[in-house]
Structure 1
């Protein structure tokens, strides 16, 4: 694993089967993933503990607050 922080990346659906593998790769490459998932088919437990996670549906109005918080 690399010990470098390249930057932030947002992964929607990151707690699902495919998304969780993408998140793992981002972590290995030195990114700081922010995961947004409504857990309809995903599972929070598959995410690495250092990953920031928001239980939000991307179609809900709450997603705007998540994006603003990330920008802030």
Structure 2
């Protein structure tokens, strides 16, 4: 298992423009069995994703999208 900690580099208003695409990405990887859990950080400065993978190369292939 791996944990990806995401930190926004743009203002939250710009991040929100891509929220639906991000949710679609999450849904795709939950359906594939890649993701175990995910959610926003509090305060809302990024997010966290628990990834089911055997090695870092597998994680890289998932998060490159």
Which one has a larger percent strand, Structure 1 or Structure 2? 2
Which has the larger helix fraction? 2
The answer, yes or no, to whether TM exceeds 0.5 is: no
TM-score interval w.r.t. the shorter chain? 0.3 to 0.5
TM-score relative to the length of structure 1: 0.33
Q: TM-score, length-normalised on structure 2? A: 0.35
